[in-house]
Amino acid sequence: MQPLPTKSAPVSLSEDPVADLQELIEKISPDKIFLLTDEHTHEHCLPIIEDLPGLSTDRIIKITAGDDHKHLDALASVWQFLSAGGASRHSLLINLGGGMPCDLGGFAAASYKRGIPFINLPTTLLSMVDASVGGKTGINFNGFKNEIGAFRIADMVLIHTPFLNTLDRENLLSGYAEMLKHALIDKPETLEKLLDIDPSAISADKLAGLVAESVLVKDRYVESDPLEGGIRKALNLGHTIGHAFESLAMKQGKPVLHGYAVAWGIIPELKLAVTKQGFSKDISEKVESYIDELYGVHSFTNDDSDNLYQLMQHDKKNRGNRINFTLLSRVGEPVIDVDCSREEIEAVISSQ
């Protein structure tokens, strides 16, 4: 187990997840161990840790995969499983999976008996660099992304990068979008390092070596503002419009991966940064070209503008009737709580 120098939460890289989980379990000393997976991780990732001492098959919770299933019924089914299994306040929940199991499982642990210990064992790039760290947990509700949840730091995040070899290209790219976002709010050198990667050459092996650096960018912002009252909002770059894209796609019955929505959201938000904060147009266009090559262009049209705007009005960063954006003045220099008019928002969306 190789601890990362994080300050907001304990995060370690792991070459042997079974041995490292054993060590953590001995420290936590739970009365029972439960493990949450979805259909995909149950098949592809659970076999790597199924020999974990103290883990029995009747305490493995399997939920339906996909962010469109990150809802109240799924959360209630986890609570029900824990209750029926005799879980106490001293039981441990291990969340094995991508962003969805980490978000939902973390909220289940944060709320069951007012809080039980939990460990995140992320299996996707997205969950390694984003969802498993930072303490945000929650579910979607009434068609809105992460509408209900709580801040609760995991007792440990254990990152085993060989899990990335179980991913297809689309899920690798979904996580890569968050890494691009982290680079934009970090420094020019980080961004250049990612933009220099040939889009056709992106692979699990190539990205595994960049995971720790991306985690540390997020940790820096979370540590300085754990409850997102100020500068942590920088981590929402691309998400105000991106979450609207993601929620509308879900409402239309055509769900998209979170990272794709974020990538598509980064482009119009950089355009807003150019006009409102003096961000470099050259860098904006370079990032847009790179994203277009990796993710394609979203299918939303001007006919969707009203629905998208309504969804943005439910963004959790908003205050009053203002839609607050995180924009950039330069790479590594985020500007939070930027108010943008409806006309400005629709103009940058329609220009794609």
C-alpha separations of 2 from 11, 17, 18, 52, 275 in Å: 9, 11, 14, 19, 43
Contact 301, 349 (CB under 8 A): no
pTM of the predicted model, to two decimals? 0.93
Same domain, 162 and 174: no
Residues 187 and 129 in one domain: no
Q: Are 183 and 190 in contact (CB under 8 A)?
A: yes
Same domain? 135 vs 180: no
Tell me: do 47 and 134 sit in the same domain.
yes
Note whether residue 209 is domain-resident.
Answer: no
Q: What is the CATH number of the domain that holds 158?
A: 3.40.50.1970
237 and 134 in one domain?
no
In the chain, how many domains are there?
2
**Residue 336 backbone phi and psi in degrees, to 5:** -95, 165
Is 27 domain-assigned? yes
Tell me the C-alpha distance between 168 and 125, whole Å: 11
- pLDDT tens, residue order, the chain (352 aa): 999 999 998 999 999 999 999 999 999 999 999 999 999 999 999 999 999 999 999 999 999 999 889 999 999 999 999 999 999 999 999 999 999 999 999 999 999 999 999 999 999 999 999 999 999 999 999 988 889 999 999 999 999 999 999 999 999 999 999 999 999 999 999 999 999 999 998 999 989 999 999 999 999 999 999 999 999 999 999 999 999 999 999 888 889 999 999 999 999 999 999 999 999 999 999 999 999 999 998 888 888 989 999 999 887 777 767 888 999 999 999 999 999 999 999 999 887 6
The tokens for 146 are: 């992460």
Helices (H), the chain: 17-28, 39-44, 46-49, 72-84, 99-111, 125-126, 169-184, 188-195, 204-208, 211-224, 239-251, 258-277, 281-295, 305-312, 342-350
Does residue 206 belong to any structural domain of this protein? no
222: in domain: no
Residue among 125, 128, 147 at smallest CA distance from 137: 147
Residues 6+ apart with CB under 8 A from 242: 261, 262, 263, 264, 265, 266
Quick one: 249 and 156 in the same domain?
no
Within a domain: residue 211?
A: no
The answer to whether residue 98 is domain-embedded is: yes
Domain span at 107: 2-166
Task: Answer yes or no: do 158 and 300 share one domain.
Answer: no
Do residues 194 and 323 both lie within one domain? yes
CB-based burial, 52-76: b 16+ in 10 Å, e otherwise:
beebeeebbbbbebebebbbeebbe
> Both 243 and 288 in a single domain?
yes
The amino acid sitting at 305 is: S
Nearest-angstrom CA–CA distance, 256 and 260: 7
Residue 335's CATH number: 1.20.1090.10
Q: Is residue 38 situated within a structural domain?
A: yes
Q: Are residues 195 and 335 in the same domain?
A: yes
Q: Does residue 219 fall inside a structural domain?
A: no
- Indicate if 148 and 192 belong to the same structural domain: no
